[in-house]
Amino acid sequence: VEENFGFNDSDIATLFLIIGVMGIFVQTVILKPFNSLVGERRVVIVSFLVGSLCNYLYGVAETKRTIFVSATLASLTGMSFPTISAIKSNNVDEMEQGRIQGALYSLQSLASALGPLLLRYVYNETKDGGGFGRGTMFIFGAGLYLVATLFAWALPEEEANSNYKKYHAKKRSSLVPKSERQDGLNYGSTQDA
């Protein structure tokens, strides 16, 4: 950004301030209610779609303002890793929790090492006008986020959302008259079934 947009020290400090404050805001204010509203699977899908949009905006940016807006939106991608951790944690036995979390952190470390190498390669191949020019590596990153979105979309909803069974039990109870219920469950009523 320094090279293409003339970012100075103040602009870089502002960029990091936006990233930090918005990251805290997303993790503490948005994540829990949004997860309760739409479920873990959709949180991951939205995070990856926003990641794709932000990378695309970085790739085609022509002004500092676009970079700042994109950095603000990019904070929503911070919802993906804790949500993926929750999905995996909810789908393994108690005795497997450490192993699955270790595997997730190992994959994150691997991606953190290979990602910059791959993007650097794309940048070096396209910086002199190939592809979409200097922004090609970000557009490539947007494509990777889209692939990840397809994988998130393919997750089975009943296994990816912790509140799926609870939601469908309430939905089923509202469709079945109390007199016809055979399982003896109360389904949230204050009176015994």
Nearest in space to 152 (alpha carbons), one of 60, 76, 65, 83? 83
* Beta-carbon-side half-sphere exposure of residue 79 (alpha carbons within 13 Å): 29
Write down the pLDDT at residue 193. 42
What percentage of the chain has pLDDT greater than the value 90? 59
Spatial neighbors of 3 by CB under 8 A, at least 6 apart, are none
The string over 133-147, giving b where at least 16 C-beta atoms fall within 10 Å of a residue's C-beta and e elsewhere, is eebbbbbbbbebbbe
Range 79-93 average pLDDT: 89
Which one, of 76, 18, 90, lies nearest residue 44 by Cα? 76
pLDDT, tens digit (0-9, with 9 covering 90-100), for 19-29: 999 999 999 99
Share of the chain above pLDDT 70, in %: 82
Question: In the predicted model, is pLDDT for residue 192 greater than 70?
Answer: no
Distances (CA, A) of 103 to 38, 62, 96: 26, 39, 11
Arithmetic mean of pLDDT, 10-26: 95
Q: Which of 70-84, 97-111, 113-127, 160-174 has the lowest mean pLDDT?
A: 160-174
Average confidence score pLDDT of the chain:
85
